[in-house]
């Protein structure tokens, strides 16, 4: 498996329907165009992930986020993103149903990592799910990525080396505890609307 730090090469692979692994501040993710059904299907295959379990996506700016989802609680998004938090929002029709396992909602990451942001700026929204076999340990360095992708973009060790906190902004619930969980919880409870699944 080819590992390198050539962002241009990673972008070219993604734009041509390929699948890569890329660094974020949390863990290494699997990247493929979020609008390419064939590439999304391959992400499921390399991870061994059931098609019944939705995938998140990654964006690099608010305009890109608004192009794929209906924004709710924009104050929360502006406070915590870019950062190690995944927000669940109602998806727009630009995203195929296979990505979300038929759900009308999508998880969105806006990573705080310069290589990831450059990649996404150049390619457009990409899939964002951990670069491991389903149920196995999340990779936090390029060398720990063992699934069969076309290229591993090496950005060094992940800053947090732990998954993101997932927040459903439509229901104002914390769906998964992860990085910045306590900060997110305090913010949502301060608004008087948060509960936990």
pLDDT in tens, 103-115: 999 999 999 999 9
Average pLDDT over residues 169-174: 91
**Token pair 């993710």 in the structure block, residue:** 29
A 10 A CB-CB count for 46 gives: 19
Q: What is the pLDDT of residue 112?
A: 98
| Alpha carbon distances (Å) from 143 to 5, 13, 55, 132, 133 | 13, 20, 23, 12, 15
Q: What is the pLDDT of residue 192?
A: 57
Counting every residue, how long is the chain? 197
Phi-psi category of 41—alpha, beta or left, where left has phi over 0 and alpha has psi -120 to 50? alpha
Higher pLDDT, 25 or 197: 25
Q: For residue 56, what pLDDT band results from cuts at 50, 70 and 90? A: very high
165: pLDDT strictly greater than 70: yes
Least confident of 15-19, 78-82, 132-136: 132-136
Helix (H) or strand (E) holding 174: strand 173-176
88: pLDDT strictly greater than 70: yes
Q: For residue 135, what pLDDT band results from cuts at 50, 70 and 90? A: confident
194: pLDDT strictly greater than 60: no
Domains of the chain: 3-160 (3.90.870.10)
Average pLDDT score, the chain: 95
Q: 38: which 2 tokens? A: 């064939």
The proportion of the chain whose per-residue pLDDT surpasses 70, expressed as a percent, equals 97
Q: What is the pLDDT of residue 193?
A: 61
Q: What is the pLDDT of residue 1?
A: 79
Q: What is the pLDDT of residue 115?
A: 98
Q: For residue 190, what pLDDT band results from cuts at 50, 70 and 90? A: confident
Q: For residue 134, what pLDDT band results from cuts at 50, 70 and 90? A: confident
Q: What is the pLDDT of residue 189?
A: 85
Q: 118: which 2 tokens? A: 């450059």
């Amino acid at each position: 498996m080819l590992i390198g730090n050539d962002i241009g090469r990673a972008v070219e692979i993604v734009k041509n329907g390929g699948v890569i692994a890329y660094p974020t501040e949390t863990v290494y993710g699997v990247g493929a165009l979020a609008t390419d059904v064939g590439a999304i299907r391959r992400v499921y295959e390399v991870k061994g992930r059931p098609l019944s379990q939705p995938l998140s996506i990654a964006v690099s700016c608010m305009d890109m986020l608004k192009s794929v989802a209906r924004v709710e609680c924009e104050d929360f998004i502006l406070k915590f993103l870019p950062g190690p938090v995944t927000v669940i929002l109602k998806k727009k029709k630009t995203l195929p149903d296979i990505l979300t396992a038929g759900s009308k909602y999508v998880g969105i990451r806006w990573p705080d990592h310069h290589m990831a942001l450059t990649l996404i700026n150049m390619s457009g929204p990409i899939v964002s799910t951990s670069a491991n076999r389903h149920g196995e340990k999340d990779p936090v360095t390029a060398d720990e990525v063992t699934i069969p992708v076309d290229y591993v973009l090496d950005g060094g060790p992940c800053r947090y080396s732990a998954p993101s906190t997932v927040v459903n902004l439509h229901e104002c619930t914390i769906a998964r505890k992860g990085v910045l969980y306590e900060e997110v919880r305090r913010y949502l409870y301060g608004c008087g609307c948060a509960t936990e699944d």
